């Protein structure tokens, strides 16, 4: 597999494109918005600059990486000759089903179709195609260029051959692929999301404040980031979506999202991406932190 198409230029999509391109693959990055594509390329360039400053890559590697990426706003043109398509669109079932229906009609019969979904059934996505044996989950972790894990999820009909190819490809990217079966939340989010939800419940019940809860988990359990800060980083809307998928899939009340999380998402307080979640990420807050450094 030499030609890779990545659908979605957001946080996960541009990170996936970055990793493939840096490892010498030709990447077509696809999004419906040219503005989103421009932002995605800018993010990749900024992340490469960070690696360059740390002397982890050379200027040549940066130039070659950016040179390996071509952007498209038309899906049909972008995926036409791809050996592998990785879908990294929004975590919405209908959006993904529509994308895979279209991919199935325009991609070559040998093209493998992968999804970066963090919770939605691979089997359900594969069922809308005529190639369910060639549909698989590649759940990269954020930030993609740094995190080593790729959760490889087999749908009910995913073939052994496709699984082996994707495992080998992930290793070629310098990642550690881990094969899991297709159940709501897979492994990563089935364990992580109830913990984040419980931290939100702890706040909701008035047991402790935001910083206190995060401090307990960082210092007491050696987590690099507190659960509420992590939820902000992931996106509270994404957390809610994943919890709803697990709640619907298992019909178990332990996966029911906390009312506080529901209210915050409804109010548009989604974490880092909107400037406010459990913490304040607004420009005024950043300026305040900077000014305190000089006091």
36, 47, 68, 189: which is the annotated catalytic residue? Answer: 189
| Annotation says 36 is catalytic | no
For residue 31, say whether it is annotated as part of any ligand binding site. Answer: yes
For residue 176, say whether it is annotated as part of any ligand binding site. Answer: no
For residue 11, say whether it is annotated as part of any ligand binding site. Answer: yes
For residue 8, say whether it is annotated as part of any ligand binding site. Answer: yes
18, 119, 139, 197: which is the annotated catalytic residue? Answer: 139
Three-state DSSP at 135 gives strand
- HEC string of 236-281 equals HHHHHHHHHHHHHHHCCHHHCCCHHHHHHHHCCCCEHHHCECCCEC
Query: 149-154 and 135-140 as β-strands: parallel, antiparallel, unpaired?
Result: antiparallel
User: Residue 47's CB: how many other CB atoms inside 10 A?
Assistant: 20
- What are the φ/ψ torsions at residue 33 (nearest 5 degrees)? -115, 125
The whole-angstrom separation of Cα 213 and Cα 203 is 8
For residue 142, say whether it is annotated as part of any ligand binding site. Answer: yes
Q: Which spans in the chain are helix H?
A: 11-22, 34-53, 59-67, 75-79, 93-106, 122-126, 160-172, 188-204, 210-215, 221, 227-234, 236-250, 259-266, 283-292
For residue 13, say whether it is annotated as part of any ligand binding site. Answer: yes
| Annotation says 139 is catalytic | yes
Q: Are 271 and 236 in contact, with CB atoms under 8 Å apart?
A: yes
14, 118, 170, 197: which is the annotated catalytic residue? Answer: 118
14, 121, 151, 276: which is the annotated catalytic residue? Answer: 151
| Annotation says 118 is catalytic | yes
For residue 96, say whether it is annotated as part of any ligand binding site. Answer: yes
User: Residue 260's CB: how many other CB atoms inside 10 A?
Assistant: 16
Q: Are 87 and 111 in contact, with CB atoms under 8 Å apart?
A: no
| Annotation says 18 is catalytic | no
What are 180's strand-pairing partners? 153
**In this structure, what token pair is assigned to residue 230?**
């992590």
The whole-angstrom separation of Cα 167 and Cα 22 is 18
List of E strands, 116-162: 135-140, 149-154
| Active site residues per annotation | 118, 139, 151, 189
Residues marked as binding for NAD(+)? Answer: 8-13, 31, 91, 96, 118, 142, 273
Residues marked as binding? Answer: 8-13, 31, 91, 96, 118, 142, 273
């Amino acid at each position: 597999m030499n030609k890779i198409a990545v659908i979605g230029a957001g946080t996960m999509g541009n990170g996936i494109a970055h990793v493939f391109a840096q490892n010498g693959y030709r990447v077509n990055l696809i999004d419906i918005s040219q503005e989103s594509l421009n932002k995605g390329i800018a993010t990749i360039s900024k992340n490469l600059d960070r690696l360059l400053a740390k002397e982890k890559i050379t200027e040549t590697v940066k130039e070659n990486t950016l040179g390996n990426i071509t952007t498209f706003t038309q899906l049909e043109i972008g995926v036409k000759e791809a050996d592998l398509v990785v879908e990294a669109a929004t975590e919405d079932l209908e959006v993904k089903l529509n994308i895979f229906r279209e991919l199935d009609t325009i991609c070559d019969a040998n093209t493998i179709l992968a999804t970066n979904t963090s919770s939605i059934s691979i089997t359900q996505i594969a069922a809308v195609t005529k190639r369910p044996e060639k549909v698989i989950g590649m759940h990269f972790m954020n930030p993609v260029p740094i995190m080593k894990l790729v959760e490889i999820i087999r749908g009910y009909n995913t073939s052994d051959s496709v699984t082996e190819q994707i495992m080998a490809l992930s290793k070629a990217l310098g990642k550690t692929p881990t094969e899991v079966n297709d159940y709501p939340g897979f492994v990563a989010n089935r364990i992580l999301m109830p913990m984040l939800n419980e931290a939100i419940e702890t706040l909701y019940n008035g047991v402790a404040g935001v910083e206190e809860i995060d401090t307990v988990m960082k210092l007491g359990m050696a987590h690099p980031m507190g659960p509420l800060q992590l939820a902000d980083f992931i996106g509270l809307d994404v957390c809610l979506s994943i919890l709803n998928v697990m709640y619907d899939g298992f019909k178990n009340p332990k996966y029911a999202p906390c009312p506080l999380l529901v209210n915050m998402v409804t109010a548009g307080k989604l974490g880092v991406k909107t400037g406010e979640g459990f913490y304040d990420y607004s420009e005024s807050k950043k300026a305040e932190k900077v000014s305190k450094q000089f006091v």
